[in-house]
Structure 1
Amino acid sequence: MKLNSLSDTTSNPNHINKSELLWPQRSQDTITGKNVFAIKLYAWWAKAVKEKELGNAAYKNKEFETALNHYNKAIELDPTNITFYSNKAAVLFEQQKYDECIELCKKAVDVGREQRAEYTLIAKALTRIGNAYLKLDQLKDAITWFDKSLSEHRDPELVKKKKQLEKDLAEKERLAYINPEIADKEKTLGNELFKRGNYPSAMKHYNEAIKRDPDNAILYSNRAACYTKLMEFQRALEDCEMCIKKDPTFIKGYIRKGAALIAMKEFGKAQTAFEMALALDSNNAEAKEGLMNAIRNNDESPEKARERALHDPEVQEILRDPGMRLLLEQMSNDPGAVREHLQNPDILKKLMKLREAGIIQMR
């Protein structure tokens, strides 16, 4: 754009390309031509900065309307400065005018990119957009704008905040998905398919039912039965454990746990599971039958039990542990030596595993 006179530029600073300015020199040379132009522009620029500083002071004192007035004047004097827009947006954020804040931050980003502002300034405006969406409880939008900010400038604190927000969003969506009525319908469909022997399809409905009602113990029990039919005994056991955790009084959880353990040839553990079931209902026929089955299968020679136990990866790992081997040697020489080690939960857990496997005896 061609300007007709110096007065045109100073009266309409929006048309000025500041990168072409020549600021006053420190020499005592006669100020003529472009230097006169620069002096007037410097005065205009300094006034804009002064308005920003007044706005900052008002902002710190929480005088938000006063701050807005000063930032508006700064923008009027210099509409090419991203900081002025960003500071005004900060006021709108504090006033909980989040939609206005978002729009102004977008304007700040556009201005910043046009003027090739520092990436950190653009990132700051993008982050504030994300924070405004966060205040509006629009988590997906907040994450989107945090991503945009991180693409401009990688702030470690924002990375952490975004990761936590993603976890919060996942939990929010999970909770929003919960619907016990739909879960009951899915369970019914699963039960019908289970009765017909269509276990893979039944599994899909049980999976959906658990997503819809994750605290329902019966659903884990039903899925455990399905896993058992599909010979996925470890998963069946995990579901039984979850069932019992959700409702320790639900007898089916213990019975199905016992069945899974028998399938895994963990007869001692199965016996315990059935005994727990009978503690809840001493007349339960299924629990009685399961207990007898576990006892019958558990009637094996100590040598055979030891041989089977030695193939257990967990037992093997314990026996390879130099510290545990030293402890076992001490126990063989002095059975009382174990007492001081029982205060250590990790050692106690390992000793209980070896005792359960028949490797050692502890009274």
Structure 2
Amino acid sequence: MLFLVYCSLIISFLQYDECIEDCDKAVERGRELRADFKMVARALTRKGTALAKLAKNSKDYDIAIETFQKALTEHRNPDTLKRLNEAEKAKKDLEQQEYYDPKLADEEREKGNETFKQQKYPEAIKHYNEAIRRNPKDARVYSNRAACYTKLGAMPEGLKDAEKCIELDPTFTKGYTRKGAVQFFMKEYEKAMETYQAGLKLDPNNQELLDGIRRCVEQINKANRGDISQEDLQEKQSKAMQDPEIQNILTDPIMRQVLMDFQENPRAAQDHLKDPGVAQKIQKLINAGIVQTR
């Protein structure tokens, strides 16, 4: 397999066109001689590497990607798979750069805003999708799309967009109101209140955030008073049991003893509450509906 040695040397000297030609000859000769599949795959991998180095647009990357895929059908080599993934990522990044246009993104965002006002939420999402493709770093679009998803009842998608909004711009308070609203509608009142409080650190007088906290407090107090249906209570408890923080509290040996004392030794339980850390965990369990005070 002299061709393989030669094309490897050519890659080292950045003579990619000649390398591609020699790799093709190596593959052709290898098939004639019924060479080991690994050798043919190696030649195809080197050809793909050279093609990726020469790529200037997405179509060029398509040819490199196709070559790596052919190599993998000959022999599934980890290095080839790694190079394929790198070429696919490079193609995606290049396409994003080619498509990037903040001006068109703003136009699409405005179109989305107009259709949102008309309560045409699916149509608004299409405009926001296009705005994100044109400018994926604009936190405002994720905030607006989160509002659309909330209106449509698609809470997981809305939560994801709200979190992306905060990630892109942690100082943009709208992201916190969006996230808090989604969590509120998901009946995760404690989490929603934490989100609203995080937003208030940036803008202490923000009325949306203040109203959000008020609504959360009302719901938490309502649950603590027992003004909640058994069905809602069970749903709340079920969600709480999926929360890693609640799971950690319930599996903590010290907290298990505290909870046992609440049932069997109320006086000892009161002593436990003098510890701020324990008291805070108990309050979390009460808010989650796991521990009931009535």
Q: Is the TM-score greater than 0.5?
A: yes
Residue 162, structure 1, aligned to residue 84, structure 2: yes
Q: Is the 8 A contact 2:220 2:287 kept in 1?
A: no
Q: CA deviation at 1:107?
A: 2.0
Question: In the TM superposition, what are the counterparts of 1:138-157 in structure 2 within 5 Å?
Answer: 138-157=60-79
- Give aligned pairs, total: 272
Q: 1:331 aligns with which of 253, 258, 265?
A: 258
Structure exhibiting the larger radius of gyration computed from Cα positions: 1
Question: In the TM superposition, what are the counterparts of 1:56-135 in structure 2 within 5 Å?
Answer: 83-135=1-53
User: In the TM superposition, what whole-angstrom CA distance separates every residue of 1:196-254 from its partner, at most 9, and x where no partner exists?
Assistant: 11111001111221232222111111111111221223332332222222222212222
Matching residue of 2:152? 230
Change over 3 Å in CA distance of 1:354–1:122 after alignment to 2:
same
Q: Is the 8 A contact 1:330 1:337 kept in 2?
A: no
Q: Is the 8 A contact 1:305 1:357 kept in 2?
A: no
- 2: CA distance, partners of 1:351 / 1:162: 51
- 1: CA distance, partners of 2:13 / 2:247: 65
- 1: CA distance, partners of 2:242 / 2:116: 39
Long gaps (5+) in structure 2:
262-267
TM-score, normalization: structure 1? 0.62
Q: CA deviation at 1:260?
A: 2.7
**Could you tell me which amino acid in structure 2 is paired with residue 201 of structure 1?**
E
**The 10-residue stretch of structure 1 (84-93 or 218-227) with the greater mean CA deviation from structure 2:** 84-93
**Could you tell me which amino acid in structure 2 is paired with residue 330 of structure 1?**
Q
- 2: CA distance, partners of 1:217 / 1:246: 6
Q: CA deviation at 1:93?
A: 2.2
Residue 315, structure 1, aligned to residue 240, structure 2: yes
- 1: CA distance, partners of 2:283 / 2:65: 48
**Could you tell me which amino acid in structure 1 is paired with residue 140 of structure 2?**
I
Question: In the TM superposition, what are the counterparts of 1:155-234 in structure 2 within 5 Å?
Answer: 155-234=77-156
Q: Please give the root-mean-square deviation of Cα atoms over the aligned residues, in Å.
A: 3.7
- 2: CA distance, partners of 1:116 / 1:298: 73
2:222 counterpart SS class: coil
Q: CA deviation at 1:272?
A: 4.0
User: In the TM superposition, what whole-angstrom CA distance separates every residue of 1:94-148 from its partner, at most 9, and x where no partner exists?
Assistant: 2211101111221222233234333333333222211211322454332222222
Q: Is the 8 A contact 2:52 2:87 kept in 1?
A: no
TM-score, normalization: structure 2? 0.75
**Could you tell me which amino acid in structure 2 is paired with residue 102 of structure 1?**
I
Residue 261, structure 1, aligned to residue 177, structure 2: no
Q: Is the 8 A contact 1:310 1:316 kept in 2?
A: no
Change over 3 Å in CA distance of 1:242–1:351 after alignment to 2:
farther
**The 10-residue stretch of structure 1 (275-284 or 201-210) with the greater mean CA deviation from structure 2:** 275-284
1:300 counterpart SS class: helix
Q: Is the 8 A contact 2:233 2:289 kept in 1?
A: yes
2:187 counterpart SS class: coil
Matching residue of 2:264? none
1:215 counterpart SS class: coil
